[in-house]
Structure 1
Amino acid sequence: MYESDNAADVYDLVYQDRKDYRAEAELVAGLVRSRRPDAATLLDVACGTGIHLEAFASQFDHVEGLDLSDAMFSAARRRLPEVTLHLADMRTFDLGRRYDVITCMFSSIGYLSTGPDLERTLQSMARHLTPGGVVVVEPWYFPDTFIDRYVSGHVVTRDGRTVARVAHSTREGDTTRMEIHYLDADKDGIRHHDEVDRLTLFGRDQYESAFTQAGGQVEYVTAESGGPGFFVGVWP
């Protein structure tokens, strides 16, 4: 997914119009501070183009990001040249330091394929926490909350450029198959880009088990916006 600079640019244009990243960062900071008031350092896993990370920088003294995609990593580097970024896999990363908070936003955890992958990811996060550290994961939908054959669309126009995004999501066993098409138009013409993303429909019990096996005490917090909510884990 998003393995070119242009795709990352289109992603930014669409989602900055659809989402309030700053409000989401403030919400997560509140969840963290109610459990760890002195939290000062944060690692955002699967940070993408760095928009959440940029918002977290106003909430915490020191932030860093991690992503597996070269294109997303490059976009985050352009946005946040002074922030330390790591090109690494969320399942196996080893950064040699610890953080008070580790986040994984925008349902990025759903791109893991198996339960063991989910467990390995939480174990990697746990290894990078300071004592009393907090992990906040925004999950993908659960098997019982996913809407099969769901269609979504969005159009944004900015600075003489219009991008339309249409997505169709279907369920294949415990996996979401999301087919996405983009039309990207400006004075030079119209371009079409399409992709198929697959996200795993982990059950709530699988998330909670992964947190617990990694040594954390976890709570599921529902989202007032109707989104997938958050798993918030605290480690000794």
Structure 2
Amino acid sequence: MYGREFAEIYDLLHHGRGKDYHAEAAFVADLIRARAPHAKSLVDIACATGAHLVAFAGLFDEVAGVEISEPMVQVARKKFDGEVVHLGDMRDFALGRRFDAVTCMFGSIGHTMSEAELDAALTCFADHLNPGGVLVVDPWWFAETFTEGYIAGDVVEVEGLTVARVSHATRVSGKSRMEVHYTVARPEGITHFAETYLASLYTRQQYEDAFARAGFTAEYLPGVQNGRGAFVAARKS
């Protein structure tokens, strides 16, 4: 999952598909500052190649990122001076400090494979949050909103590349299994590779219960983030 070939085209592909990282980051920053007006520091978990993190860096005094895929980390680190992006697992990373805001975007929380792993991740997020801080989580599709057999396809032309992406998603043992095929055409030739992504299909109630177990009071905002919604949470006093 999230290998070198994908990391190399990740930014170009999502830019070509129209993903607006700066608008999403601004939306999330507004959610944070509505609840913590003086928030100055932020850590983005599962930050991939750091596209959201670059946008957050223009909105917060200090940012950091955590990503489990080493190829993604290598791409992300080229965008920053200093040690900003850390190789780590959302379930057990330890940065040795706390932040005013913690974010986990793009449905990445779904890569926890059980409620126990979800609990571990949210507890780890809580351990990195200052008192009065805010957590924003963009969940993967709920079990009740996932579309079985969903097919998506795009062809984008960016910076001399033509990239075709086709995906098919199925429900397997309480998880979504998305198989994605990429064809990349460059002046020197055409390459093809495929990746498979598993994500847990938790119910909304399972998420809310997990937030409570990790010591958060969470509010769910429906309809945002491409329809998946967003959870905005604060640690209980």
TM-score, normalized by length of structure 1?
0.96
Alpha-carbon spacing, 1:30–1:66, altered in 2? closer, same or farther (3 Å) = same
Q: Deviations over 1:168-218 (max 9, x none)?
A: 001113110101000100111110011111111011111111111111110
Q: Which residue of 2 aligns with 1:46?
A: 46
Q: Which is worse superposed, 120-129 or 8-17? A: 8-17
Q: Which residue of 1 aligns with 2:115?
A: 115
Contact 1:148/1:170 (8 A) holds in 2: yes
For the residue of structure 2 that corresponds to 1:180, the secondary structure is strand
Contact 2:22/2:52 (8 A) holds in 1: yes
Query: Counterparts of 1:200 and 1:175 in 2: how far apart (Å)?
Result: 4
CA apart distance, 1:224: 4.2
Query: Counterparts of 1:63 and 1:96 in 2: how far apart (Å)?
Result: 14
Q: Deviations over 1:71-107 (max 9, x none)?
A: 0110100122345221111101111100000000000
Q: Which is worse superposed, 90-99 or 225-234? A: 225-234
CA apart distance, 1:159: 2.5
Q: Which residue of 1 aligns with 2:179?
A: 179
Name the Cα RMSD after superposition. Answer: 1.2
Q: Which residue of 1 aligns with 2:202?
A: 202
Query: Counterparts of 1:224 and 1:138 in 2: how far apart (Å)?
Result: 9
Query: Counterparts of 2:55 and 2:32 in 1: how far apart (Å)?
Result: 15
Query: Counterparts of 2:64 and 2:186 in 1: how far apart (Å)?
Result: 34
Query: Counterparts of 1:104 and 1:120 in 2: how far apart (Å)?
Result: 14
Map residues 53-202 of structure 1 onto 2, 5 A cutoff.
Answer: 53-82=53-82, 84-202=84-202
Query: Counterparts of 1:227 and 1:104 in 2: how far apart (Å)?
Result: 16
Query: Counterparts of 2:15 and 2:78 in 1: how far apart (Å)?
Result: 16
Contact 2:45/2:102 (8 A) holds in 1: yes
CA apart distance, 1:13: 1.3
Q: Which residue of 1 aligns with 2:11?
A: 12
CA apart distance, 1:128: 1.0
Query: Counterparts of 2:92 and 2:33 in 1: how far apart (Å)?
Result: 27
Query: Counterparts of 2:76 and 2:160 in 1: how far apart (Å)?
Result: 24
Contact 2:224/2:230 (8 A) holds in 1: no
Query: Counterparts of 2:224 and 2:231 in 1: how far apart (Å)?
Result: 14
Contact 1:50/1:80 (8 A) holds in 2: no
Q: Deviations over 1:99-126 (max 9, x none)?
A: 0000000001111100000001000110
Moved over 3 A (4+): none
Q: Which residue of 1 aligns with 2:23?
A: 23
Query: Counterparts of 1:66 and 1:81 in 2: how far apart (Å)?
Result: 15
Query: Counterparts of 1:154 and 1:107 in 2: how far apart (Å)?
Result: 20
Query: Counterparts of 1:202 and 1:16 in 2: how far apart (Å)?
Result: 29
Contact 2:138/2:225 (8 A) holds in 1: no
Alpha-carbon spacing, 1:234–1:176, altered in 2? closer, same or farther (3 Å) = same
The alignment of Structure 1 onto Structure 2 pairs a total of residues equal to 235
For the residue of structure 2 that corresponds to 1:117, the secondary structure is helix
Query: Counterparts of 1:222 and 1:33 in 2: how far apart (Å)?
Result: 19
